[in-house]
Chain A
């Protein structure tokens, strides 16, 4: 009894630093945001604490709907693009690269030592009218006029792919890396073609990784701020941009906070769904 209590105390003491920082840096800020979302707004940008649903009521007006749809759409398309590009990379690194796997993974991660905005600015240089890609294509005679890339939707997707590729590759790689190779040999022995053994053995076993990748791309993609501005010319705003606009341009903290809360609810919803699906996948397997 005493030993158990002491054990609990030790656990608590060991957890205290992380618990404390989680409360200070995560729980309290979120509570502040939630409190602001119920505050009242005056014309001059002051927020009066109180309890009103005015911000939420305003949020569900027609003008904000396109932003929600835009964000979901961009997040969905980015996720699909990331999976289509990331899966083959993860597959290659995990199952084909052999002793070079470590090097390839490192190469994938090294750019992330550089600041995000600097990397995005590099894309602006690459995709610009007088940029590297246009100069190369012009020089090789493939095009006569520079192609306009900055300020277009594909440029935004390129930025999203670049930003989220490692978070797609890593969980899929982890799932594939743990794959029992004997299963593939067994499939081979039983006469499965390579394609069959991929669809019936490799792919199902990599699903937890794929789902983690979807989660890691879809959720943060909705809150992305810089990519639509820098590469998309700020013409198609998503939730991340709306929050900035409401806080900084419109000085409407309650409404900005309400959008943040809604974003939080959507993200949490997706995470809950993910946990459910993951559990059923694992139960089906056992």
Chain B
């Protein structure tokens, strides 16, 4: 009897103790961009229990947030997504005093057009949208989006299953700017994307890197980070920022209004902006860091990889997609037409 009582007492003590000290953090980030190792390191260093979920499109994340109940304390939106979420009132204004490491940001990322004064978000990594090919199948190195319309690769071309990303190619191949709001340009791009379906193997924004590396695909539209990750194991995979420009993007961290563990979220943001952590994260995710001091710590093959850090002149030509506002509807109707065309 006495034993039972002790057992019960100790069990409830443990329960109370763990209840009190269980600092939690729920992160919702782009798949492949925040390495699990970084999350584990953070948990070990701080004792915070981290739950980590991923998404493969900004829209999915926004849908979950705008549906109300989300339970996330930290999200990783891309630039235009920060604008949309802020307009919807779904983000908390950031208190920079709680992010001492914010001073580590490289010069181009200290002031960003989509979020003046970094009110809602802090940049984490940046990258480009272009295409990649497998040398086994594509013999002459392509330099234009037109390669994704080339009938000689019929059935082995894949496009990102992502409306705005697909339209980067559709618009630029016609000589228009990605992220345009002009109805006639969007319509023309829609026609090009419909025409492209004849040669497409499919739309894919999850494992297109593997499709390319395995030779199932010859040429895929893609984000540079995912491509750089498969380049490590298959050197025949090459990444291209097309002559038409491609696009540049910045993914950063933001705290949703509904967040419950705000202090922990700040701790994570500050942690990942520490140069050594930022360097490790950038190296593991094969993405470009926004922290200058971190770049210096990177291994040569990562820092010198043109798929991750493209030459300056390429970047100058890349489009930077901002919130398209009411034109969203034009893109959506166009994309539905593309998806239903036979």
Contact = CB atoms under 8 A, between A and B. Distances in A.
Contact of B216 (A64, A129, A152): A129
B66 A234 contact: no
A279 B329 CA distance: 47
B66 A245 contact: no
Interface string B302-342: 00000000000000000000000110110011011101111
Q: Which of B66, B155, B340 has the most CB of A within 10 A?
A: B340
Contacts of A96: none
Interface residues of B, number: 38
A150 B200 CA distance: 11
B163 A249 contact: yes
Given A45-B63, A130-B216, A148-B155, A250 B332 contact: yes
B51 interface: no
Contacts of A128: 214, 216
A249 B202 contact: no
Contacts of B155: 148, 151-152
B339 A45 contact: no
Contacts of B326: 43
A119 interface: no
A46 B60 contact: no
Main DSSP-derived SS at the B contact region: helix
Given A249-B163, A251-B62, A129 B202 contact: no
Contacts of A249: 57, 59-60, 63, 162-163, 332, 335
Interface string B84-127: 10011000000000000000000000000000000000000000
Contacts of B156: 129, 148
Contacts of A223: none
Interface string A228-239: 010011111100
A127 to B, nearest CB: 10
Given A64-B336, A130-B214, A130-B215, A150 B88 contact: no
Contact of A67 (B62, B325, B340): B340
Contact of A151 (B201, B214, B332): B201
A248 B59 CA distance: 6
A45 B90 CA distance: 12
Nearest to B329: A43
B161 interface: yes
A15 B329 CA distance: 48
A253 interface: yes
B161 to A, nearest CB: 6
Contacts of A235: 197, 200, 202-203, 339
B57 A44 contact: no
Interface string B194-210: 00010011111000000
A150 B201 contact: yes
A149 to B, nearest CB: 10
Nearest to A250: B332
Contacts of A232: 202
Interface in A232-274: 232-237, 241-242, 245, 247-253
Interface of A: 43-46, 63-64, 66-67, 70, 128-130, 148, 150-152, 229, 232-237, 241-242, 245, 247-253
Interface of B: 57, 59-60, 62-63, 66-67, 84, 87-88, 155-156, 158, 161-163, 197, 200-204, 214-216, 325-326, 328-329, 332-333, 335-337, 339-342
